[in-house]
Structure formats: C-alpha cells, structure tokens
A = this chain, B = another copy of it.
Amino acid sequence: MTADEGGLPDIRRDVPTAIHVQISEHIRLRIASGEWPAHYRLKSEPELAQEFGVSRGTVRRALATLIEEGLLRQVRGRGTFVTSTVIEPAIAQKLSTLSEDFASQGVVTSTEVRECSLITPPRPVAALLDLASGDTRVLRLVRVRSTTEGPVALLFNFVRTDLAPGIEQADFAGSSLFGVLEGSYGLKIATARRTFSAEAASPDVAEALALAPGSPVQYLQQVTYLADGRPVEYSDVWIHSGRLRVTSLLLRR
C-alpha cells in the first residue's frame, strides 16, 4: 500500500535518516495535508509499531518529537491526538471568561485596554442592565486580547457602576473584569446568557482583529447576573474565528 492510498509508507533502512525521524516526518505530512485533522486519535503505539514494522520504542520516540513540537498531545487513558491549531475555549458551556479559559489552557495572551471610561449607556444596554436611561452612567471597557498569532477578540463591556463604584480606576491590562467584580467588589456573579452568531466585521471590528472589513466574525453577546438576579454587566465580543473556535464537549444525558 502506498501513501497515496492512505496507508503507511515503507520505512527505508538504506538511507542515513534515522527511522524515528522518518516516522515523525510521515506523521507531520499527514497532519499538514489535513488527512489527520485536529482531534484525530492516532492508533495505539503497538498498532503503529506493527504497521510501520518498527519497535514500539521507535514509535514512542517519533511521537515524543511531535508532542514536543505541539502537533500531538497525549491524554492519559484516552490516547494520542492531533492538536488543534486554534484556541478552543469552552465559553458556550461554562461561565468562564476568555482570560480564565486561556489561563487554564496555558495560552499566553496580552490585553490592550483601548477605553475605560464612564458613559451614558445606549438605551438597549440600559434596558438589559435594568437602568432607567438617561440618569445613570456605566463603565465602558474596550479591550483587545491577543496571542502571539495576533488579535483574537475585541471586547466591549458595559458595567453598572452603582454596583461597583470607582471601577473605572481598576487596572484592566493586568486583571480580568470578573476578577475585579468578584475580588475587589465582593459581587457574586451567578449566571449569564450568552448568544453566538456569525456577523460581518464592521470597519472598526476588522481593524481591531486585523481582518478585512466584511470578514465573517464570531459575535458573542452576553448579559451577566448576580446571585440576587440583578444584571451587572452587558458585553459585545467579536472573535477571530481563524484563531479561536468556541468548543463544547457535551454529554448526552
């Protein structure tokens, strides 16, 4: 069987390239071609050893190289999987924030605070925050979160300042919004409604995410509630789908 037919290639013992290097290169090509997509589970080490006609130790050495490169990852008790090239936060499944999810996945991000000021909220935002329009000011926080790949999300948050007076003085480059609300103000964030849709990037959104205007972007709208039922925060979040995919691991029952 040749590689063209989807099988495993012969390992060549008449070339100076070490066998484990040939195997890791073979797997690298399978991943690069998309034939082994993100989340594909490789066969077990004994099965791979048999198919390649090599020892299990040689297979293990080839896999170790690819794990170190970040192309594969091993999950205890489940096997070896092809790594996703995009960040996959579980923000549709858990009320964690992007920054919390990044931290738990070991993704290093930076935050640029573009605006942190008190404003009169737009009427629909005032309504969802249970504020009489016209007479209350809210914090408007605009941030861009980036990884080493570039910007991944543009976040607009509107926060009730009657519940968090002085919040406009917090350092949002270094601390998260939920962290400040829970840590500095002792607020009990309890629930949120999040809706997800695909939208065309406005010029402003496109600029912030380094996309062409009109590009499809993942839009997330959120209203966050305290334990006593009062809404505390509304947000519009624009996500670069090429760098971040909202992912849920779900159970049937």
Contacts and interface: CB of A to CB of B under 8 A. Distances in A.
Interface of A: 5-6, 34-37, 39-41, 88, 92-95, 123-124, 126-128, 130, 132-134, 189-200, 214-219, 223, 239, 241, 245-252
A241 B197 contact: yes
Given A37-B128, A194-B248, A196-B196, 20 more contacts: A35-B123, A37-B124, A39-B128, A92-B196, A92-B248, A94-B250, A95-B251, A95-B252, A191-B252, A192-B250, A193-B250, A196-B218, A196-B246, A197-B198, A198-B198, A198-B218, A198-B219, A198-B241, A214-B214, A216-B216
Q: How many copies does the complex hold?
A: 2
Contacts of A241: 197-199
Given A6-B132, A191-B251, A191-B252, A200 B216 contact: yes
A247 B40 contact: no
Nearest to A79: B229
B195 A245 contact: yes
A189 B93 CA distance: 19
B193 A248 contact: yes
Contacts of A193: 39, 247-250
A193 B195 CA distance: 19
Contacts of A92: 92-93, 196, 246, 248
A219 B140 CA distance: 30
Nearest to A249: B193
Contacts of A198: 197-199, 216-219, 239, 241
Nearest to A133: B6
B88 A127 contact: no
Closest 3 CB pairs of A and B: A92-B92, A198-B198, A216-B216
A200 to B, nearest CB: 5
Given A218-B197, A252-B189, A35 B127 contact: yes
A35 B36 CA distance: 49
Contact of A246 (B130, B134, B189, B195): B195
Contacts of A245: 195-197
A198 B191 CA distance: 25
Given A93-B92, A198-B217, A199-B216, A130 B41 contact: yes
A250 B196 contact: no
Nearest to A227: B252
